[in-house]
Amino acid sequence: MNNLEIIDLRKNGKIHFNMNDGTDNYMEITITDYIEKEVLEFDWGKDTLRFELSPTSSGSILVLLESIGALTEHTPKDLAGWHICLGLLSDLLNGTVHGEFPMEEWQKWFAEYKQLVHDVEKY
């Protein structure tokens, strides 16, 4: 996510979520846990995102955990966004750089996650 800018990479450090709307506006995010090359956790609105990296014999495993306090209308947007971001990261690690965020693909995943969240809310 090119609009996430790490300002102070440490526990209780800061990340800026740049709005990329032509202004210099950003939202300040607190890093709630950090272990170099292992863990990056930060607040995401009322939720928490945690990235965990573990070595394997052939490389590494990346796990993304999102702790969602309450399902909202924004939840499927976030889920679709992280889905796309993980795909972009995978592409980057395999040598493919994308210049723009793939909005059409995001819209496809947003529709799917919106339905999944709706299904979960029924229970």
pLDDT at 114: 97
Note whether 61 and 99 are same-domain residues: no
What gap in Å lies between CA 27 and CA 108, rounded to an integer?
A: 27
- Number of domains into which the chain is organized: 2
68: nearest Cα among 20, 116, 18, 17: 116
Say yes or no to pLDDT of 117 above 90: yes
Q: Are residues 58 and 79 in the same domain?
A: no
What are the tens digits of pLDDT across the range 19-66? 777 788 899 999 999 999 999 999 998 999 999 999 999 999 999 999
**Whether residue 64 sits in one domain with residue 36:** yes
Domain encompassing residue 59 = 1-68
pLDDT at position 2: 76
Domain boundary, last residue among 21, 43, 68: 68
pLDDT tens-digit map of 94-116? 999 998 889 999 999 999 999 99
End-to-end CA distance of the chain: 33
Instruction: Name the H helices within the chain.
Output: 75-93, 103-121
CATH code: domain of residue 16: 3.30.530.20
Structure tokens at 33: 């846990």
* 75 and 37 share one domain: no
| pLDDT at residue number 3 | 82
